[in-house]
């Protein structure tokens, strides 16, 4: 008897195969085998339908058109062959909505005969015991979970395709729209708006070093908190406009703080009160998907995608349980394993009397299993696992192991002491200081694991800090008094960790999709990273503006969260897919007609959308009352003020583009510099900043003339501010004749091209190592280069810009290099371009590893298929066909003439006419372009 087991992943298949005996064949579908059709893959019979572009028949109960993915045809063929030889089929995909949907698609495509029973095999860890249990207790395919996933997929297709069409028409450079991605982008944009509107407030306080009069004396630091019976204002007392939220507070400025410090120097302080409270802290629950992603970002500096990738590999190889879960529950087996490990490693004093249980009310809870934990009846140690997996996976396993162990350990206990101290200055001011300290007497779970906090969050109970033994009435001496100036800070930008946390709080999206959401909004250029901070692009501002103004419901947080509730209702069988999709797309029925749906919103509101409004981000008005704004245009983002235009530096975050900064950019010199006259032609030589970089130009553009001025790009070592006339003339003298190859009489020239400096001999070109070689290379050196084997274009040996540490996956050293298309990071096997916000001088090892792994995930670059040579007709056949066509045209003309009809003469499509048409087309395409690649953006 042969039983075929199908999983999604080859790695998972390989692991499970080890646990199953003879009679089992394990293979994988390599993820989804089919998806909704798009224009290219839509079957011919549907291509004329009005809904064809959606891939969903919205007029026929939202019937989806599924097609086998192009890359999965061989997989399906292989699985069908295996199925023909099998007696039973086990669908062993993941136990969540997506896994259930993959199983259903496999069943639909493979279509096993009635003689082959189909069983659904589910497990949440890949261990021999779990696999054996799953084989012995299979279940039926859960069609409710399939319906919920199918509804989500159709919903996202309708949302994405319909709104994307609007965005492409109304927002310049906009990419596609996604249901949850749009909400995530809105969150990042709203935070940036808060930062842009933020007005900082300044305040001062004092930091006083105090010494006891005991022997030996002890010192500690206290902070000024009160003056003359009124509380001193701190940062939390100011709002985002820099105004105090309360009126009875004291705000110290710098002169007052320094004057007070001078009065307190050397003064005696008395302890006015000592308050002691017990300190008690419970461990955090075991990981669920979202908390795991947050901690992996904070502690390991991993992106959500990197963290989930590592966890997926650990799960598939049997090291951890399933990593897509909303449950904080641990099984009895896991509890026993954790307690055994705590007793062995830390001792009985760190083991509670009873196992800890964690319950939580999960908003939009998905199908849960257990918390993420080490797999098996006993937990493998991090040290053992580290010997079998790569560095990143080892760190992720250790994180999961520590969190699981800590969740079952005793509470941390101790004591917190708060002290108030006072003194009166010579001028009669009553001054009050405060100090607090926490002493941990029993570390408990802190011995294994401490949860990390986001920026701006205060630690629970404060940091551990020891204060000397103090009693009310004790006298202390002020050893040093230091005034401290502070400025309130805008709300911190989202990081991947804090954005995941916010999405979970709002109930938007699924924890299993957060990694792909974060990756998508960065890949589409809506968000970029500076360090760990997520910064929105100005295109993101325009997209969010369009959605908020014209489709507010679709980016409303509550509305999006309600969608998740509705999808859960479908998964539970409490709601049906088709009626729900009809309400969303066509609107809810009112008086027999449907209104308020996505289709109506997109079609009816398209004419209301003014691109000038949604593509403008106002910054304010200048002193003359002129509006200064950022505009998202066809050729990029630029500043606008009346007729003035100015480019915006690509790496400038929106909150740093203040009104003053914008005016500075608008009023900065254009960069055009007349360097002098060319002694040969008498034409002016001008240095300019172009769209593709700085360049020099010989003469101005003459209106009506077809001849464009000669231009030359500046070398990388040159700048517009320092280039001289001599430098410019040297550049304009290129290309330079190096000499003639004596072997064949062909001229060799040195030229500066799009991809850098190179030599040219007939049709053979060779790259040069430096731009200066254009002027210094000799014929002998050029002939030596041509004698060497030809390298790929731009393939010259250059030293790295910077050396980094080893890549955690390949183990090879990473370096940053300058490439043909800009700086990139490589480990010698994989190359990944640096992205916006990545600085070659400051990029970290973690960021470099992230870029390399992202490049690996994308697979090898696709090479463009070569076009087959046209099998044209022989010349004689072409001539005959042309002659026959001319006769037919003449006959038609004769008939028209006989009837007295007007004859229209069509000019022959000569090569010259075709060239003229091409030139006209190119002129239209490049309208507004200046020589040297500069493009004039017009609003």
Q: Report DSSP letters for 676-704, one per residue.
A: EE-TTT--EEEEEEETTEEEEEESPPPTT
Of 288, 385, 378, which is closest to residue 335 (Cα–Cα)? 378
Task: Tell whether the model's pLDDT for residue 485 goes beyond 90.
Answer: yes
Q: What is the pLDDT of residue 9?
A: 87
Domains 3-150 and 151-198+492-611 share a fold: no
Contact 725, 683 (CB under 8 A): no
The CATH number, out of the four listed (3.40.50.140, 3.50.50.60, 2.60.120.10, 3.30.1490.20), of the domain defined by the range 3-150: 3.40.50.140
CA 922 to chain centre: 36
What is the structure's pLDDT at 926?
Answer: 31
392-406, 419-433, 835-849: least confident range: 835-849
Q: Which residue has the higher pLDDT, 692 or 548?
A: 548
Question: Does 592 or 655 have the greater pLDDT score?
Answer: 655
Asked whether the predicted pLDDT for residue 228 surpasses 90, the reply is: yes
Percentage of the chain surpassing pLDDT 90? 49
Contact 766, 753 (CB under 8 A): no
Query: Binning pLDDT at 50, 70 and 90, where does residue 251 land?
Result: very high
Which position among 279, 322, 449, 585 bears the catalytic label?
322
Q: Which residue has the higher pLDDT, 568 or 103?
A: 103
Give the pLDDT confidence of 149-207 residue by residue, as tens digits. Answer: 999 999 989 988 888 888 888 887 777 778 889 999 999 999 999 999 999 999 999 99
Q: Which of 20, 427, 398, 412 is nearest to 256 (CA)?
A: 427
Q: What string of DSSP letters covers 107-166?
A: HHHH---TTS-EEE---SB-SHHHHHHHHHS-B---HHHHHHHHHHHHHHHHHHHHHHHH
Determine how many CB atoms are found less than 10 A away from the CB of residue 788: 8
Which of 53-62, 551-560, 913-922 is the least confident region?
913-922
At 825 the pLDDT is 92
What pLDDT is stored for residue 888 in this prediction? 57
pLDDT band of residue 873 (cuts 50, 70, 90) is very low
State residue 560's pLDDT score.
Answer: 83
Which residue, among 363, 447, 460, 456, has the nearest Cα to 405 in the 3D structure?
A: 447
Per-residue pLDDT tens over the stretch 600-611: 888 877 788 888
- We find that the CATH architecture of domain 151-198+492-611 is Orthogonal Bundle (1.10)
pLDDT of residue 572: 84
**What are the sequence ranges of the domains in the chain?**
3-150, 151-198+492-611, 202-282+413-487, 289-410, 615-667, 673-732, 736-787, 802-858
Kindly tell me if the per-residue pLDDT of 313 is higher than 90.
yes
Measured distance CA(827)–CA(822) in Å, rounded: 17
**What is the pLDDT at residue 455?**
56
Query: Contact 732/724 with Cβ under 8 angstroms?
Result: no
Comparing 359 with 417, the larger pLDDT belongs to 417
pLDDT of residue 368: 46
Known active-site residue 449: no
Task: Report the pLDDT value the prediction gives residue 759, as an integer from 0 to 100.
Answer: 92
Q: What is the mean pLDDT of residues 769-791?
A: 86
461 φ/ψ sector (left φ>0, alpha ψ -120 to 50, else beta): left
- Summarised one tens digit per residue, pLDDT across range 795-837 is 555 678 888 888 888 888 899 988 767 789 998 888 998 887 7
Phi, psi dihedrals of residue 634, rounded to the nearest 5°: -60, -35
| Predicted pLDDT of residue 916 | 36
Q: Which superfamily is assigned to 202-282+413-487 in CATH?
A: Topoisomerase I, domain 3 (2.70.20.10)
In terms of C-beta density within 10 A (0-12 exposed, 13-18 middle, 19 or more buried), how is residue 933 classed? middle
Angle between helices 391-406 and 289-300 (to 10 degrees): 120
- For range 520-540, the mean pLDDT: 91
Question: Of the candidates 142, 141, 121, 140, which has an alpha carbon nearest to the alpha carbon of residue 132?
Answer: 121
pLDDT of residue 937: 31
- Give the list of residues 6+ apart from residue 127 with CB closer than 8 angstroms, or none: 19, 318, 375, 376, 377
State mean pLDDT over 518-527. 90
541 pLDDT tier (thresholds 50, 70, 90): very high
Q: How far apart are CA 95 and CA 100, in angstroms?
A: 6
Query: Between 3.40.50.2300, 1.10.290.10, 3.40.1190.20, 3.40.50.300, what CATH number should domain 289-410 receive?
Result: 1.10.290.10
Please give the Cα distance from 905 to 903 (Å, whole number): 6
CA dihedral 491, 492, 495, 498 (to 10 degrees): -50
Q: Is the peptide bond before 373 cis (omega within 30 degrees of 0)?
A: no
Predicted local distance difference test score (pLDDT) of residue 366: 46
DSSP label at residue 852: H
Query: Which of 671-680, 753-762, 830-839, 857-866 is predicted least confidently?
Result: 857-866
Residues ≥6 apart with Cβ < 8 Å to 71? none
Helices (H), 7-54: 10-19
Confidence of residue 912 (pLDDT cuts 50, 70, 90): very low
In whole angstroms, give the CA distance from residue 487 to residue 496: 26
Mean pLDDT of 572-577: 88
Q: What is the reported pTM?
A: 0.74
Helix (H, G, I), strand (E, B) or coil at 815: strand
Question: Average pLDDT, stretch 277-301?
Answer: 93
The β-bridge relationship of strands 747-753 and 756-761 is: antiparallel
Please work out, in degrees rounded to the nearest 5, the angle formed at the alpha carbon of residue 814 by the alpha carbons of 810 and 818.
135
879-884: which pairs have CB atoms within 8 A and are 24 or more residues apart? Answer: none
883, 876 contact by CB (below 8 A): no
**Which residues neighbour 870 within 8 Å (Cβ) at sequence distance 6 or greater?**
none
């Amino acid at each position: 008897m042969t039983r075929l087991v199908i999983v999604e992943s080859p790695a998972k298949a390989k692991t499970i195969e080890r646990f199953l005996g003879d009679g089992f064949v394990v293979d994988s579908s390599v993820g989804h085998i089919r998806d909704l059709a798009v224009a290219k893959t839509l079957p011919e019979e549907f291509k004329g339908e009005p809904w064809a572009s959606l891939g969903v028949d919205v007029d026929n109960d939202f019937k989806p058109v599924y097609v086998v993915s192009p890359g999965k045809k061989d997989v399906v063929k292989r699985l069908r062959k295996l199925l023909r030889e099998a007696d039973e089929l086990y669908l062993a995909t993941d136990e969540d909505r997506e896994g259930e949907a993959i199983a259903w698609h496999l069943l639909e495509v493979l279509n096993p005969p009635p003689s082959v029973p189909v069983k659904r095999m589910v497990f949440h860890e890949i261990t021999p015991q779990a696999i054996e249990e799953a084989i012995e207790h299979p279940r039926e395919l859960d069609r409710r979970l399939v319906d919920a996933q199918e509804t989500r997929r159709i919903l996202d297709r309708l949302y994405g395709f319909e709104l994307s069409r609007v965005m492409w028409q109304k927002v310049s450079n906009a990419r596609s729209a996604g249901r949850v991605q749009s909400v995530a982008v809105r969150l990042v944009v709203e935070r940036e708006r808060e930062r842009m509107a933020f007005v900082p407030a300044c305040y001062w306080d004092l930091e006083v070093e105090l010494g006891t009069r005991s022997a030996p004396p002890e010192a500690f630091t206290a902070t000024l908190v009160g003056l003359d019976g009124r509380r001193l204002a701190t940062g939390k007392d100011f709002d985002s406009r820099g105004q105090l939220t309360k009126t009875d507070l004291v705000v110290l400025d710098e002169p007052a703080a320094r004057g007070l410090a001078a009065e307190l120097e050397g003064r005696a302080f008395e302890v006015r009160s000592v308050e002691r409270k017990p300190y008690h802290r419970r461990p955090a629950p075991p990981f669920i998907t979202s908390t795991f992603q947050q901690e992996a970002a904070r502690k390991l500096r991993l992106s959500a995608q990197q963290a989930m990738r590592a966890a997926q590999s650990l799960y598939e190889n049997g090291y951890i349980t399933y990593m897509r879960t909303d449950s904080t529950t641990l099984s009895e087996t896991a509890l026993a394993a954790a307690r055994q490990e705590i007793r062995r490693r830390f001792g009985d004093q760190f083991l509670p009397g009873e196992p800890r249980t964690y319950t939580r009310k999960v908003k939009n809870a998905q199908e849960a299993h257990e918390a993420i934990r080490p797999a098996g009846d006993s937990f493998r140690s991090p040290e053992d696992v580290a010997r079998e997996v790569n560095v990143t996976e080892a760190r992720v396993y250790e994180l999961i192991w520590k969190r699981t162990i800590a969740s079952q350990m005793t509470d941390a206990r101790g004591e917190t002491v708060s002290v108030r101290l006072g003194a009166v200055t010579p001028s009669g001011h009553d001054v009050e200081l405060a100090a607090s300290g926490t002493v941990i007497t029993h570390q408990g779970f802190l011995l294994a694991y401490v949860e990390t906090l986001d920026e701006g969050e205060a630690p629970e109970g404060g940091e551990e800090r020891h204060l000397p033994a103090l009693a009310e009435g004790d006298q202390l001496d002020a050893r040093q008094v230091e005034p401290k100036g502070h400025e309130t800070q805008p709300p911190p930008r989202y990081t991947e960790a804090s954005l995941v946390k916010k999405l979970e709080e709002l109930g938007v999206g699924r924890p299993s999709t957060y990694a792909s959401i974060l990756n998508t909004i960065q890949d589409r250029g809506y968000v970029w990273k500076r360090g760990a901070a997520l910064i929105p692009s100005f295109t993101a501002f325009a997209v969010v503006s369009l959605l908020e103004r014209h489709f507010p419901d679709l980016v409303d947080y509550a509305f999006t969260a309600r969608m998740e509730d509705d999808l859960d209702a479908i998964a539970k069988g409490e709601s049906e897919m088709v009626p729900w999709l009809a309400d969303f797309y066509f609107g809810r029925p009112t008086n027999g007609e449907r209104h308020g749906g996505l289709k109506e919103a997109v079609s009816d509101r398209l004419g209301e959308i003014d691109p000038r409004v949604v593509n403008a981000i106002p910054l304010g008005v200048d002193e003359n009352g002129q509006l200064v704004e950022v505009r998202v245009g066809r050729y990029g983002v630029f500043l606008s003020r009346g007729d003035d235009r100015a480019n915006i530096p690509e790496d400038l975050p929106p909150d740093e583009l203040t009104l003053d900064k914008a005016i500075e950019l608008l009023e900065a010199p254009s960069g055009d510099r007349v360097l002098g006259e060319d002694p040969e032609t008498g034409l002016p030589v001008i240095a300019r900043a172009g769209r593709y970089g700085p360049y020099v130009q010989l003469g101005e553009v003459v209106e009506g003339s077809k001849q464009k001025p000669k231009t030359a790009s500046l070398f990388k070592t040159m700048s517009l501010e320092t280039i001289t006339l001599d430098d410019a003339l040297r550049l304009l003298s290129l290309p330079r004749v190096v000499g003639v190859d004596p072997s064949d009489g062909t001229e060799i020239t040195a030229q500066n091209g799009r991809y850098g400096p190179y030599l040219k001999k007939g049709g053979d070109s060779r790259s040069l190592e430096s731009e200066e070689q254009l002027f210094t290379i000799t014929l002998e050196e050029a002939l030596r280069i041509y004698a060497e084997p030809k390298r790929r274009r731009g393939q010259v040996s250059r030293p790295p810009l910077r050396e980094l540490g080893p890549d955690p996956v390949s183990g090879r050293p990473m370096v940053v290099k300058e490439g043909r298309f800009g700086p990139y990071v490589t480990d010698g096997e994989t190359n990944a371009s640096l992205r916006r916000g990545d600085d070659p001088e400051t990029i970290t090892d973690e960021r470099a590893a992230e870029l390399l792994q992202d490049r690996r995930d994308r697979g090898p670059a696709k090479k463009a298929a070569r076009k087959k040579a046209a099998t044209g007709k022989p010349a004689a056949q072409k001539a005959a066909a042309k002659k026959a066509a001319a006769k037919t045209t003449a006959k038609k003309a004769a008939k028209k003439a006989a009837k007295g009809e007007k004859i229209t003469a069509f000019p022959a499509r000569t090569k010259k006419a075709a060239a003229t048409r091409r030139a006209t087309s190119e002129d239209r395409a490049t309208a507004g372009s200046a020589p040297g690649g500069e493009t004039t953006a017009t609003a």
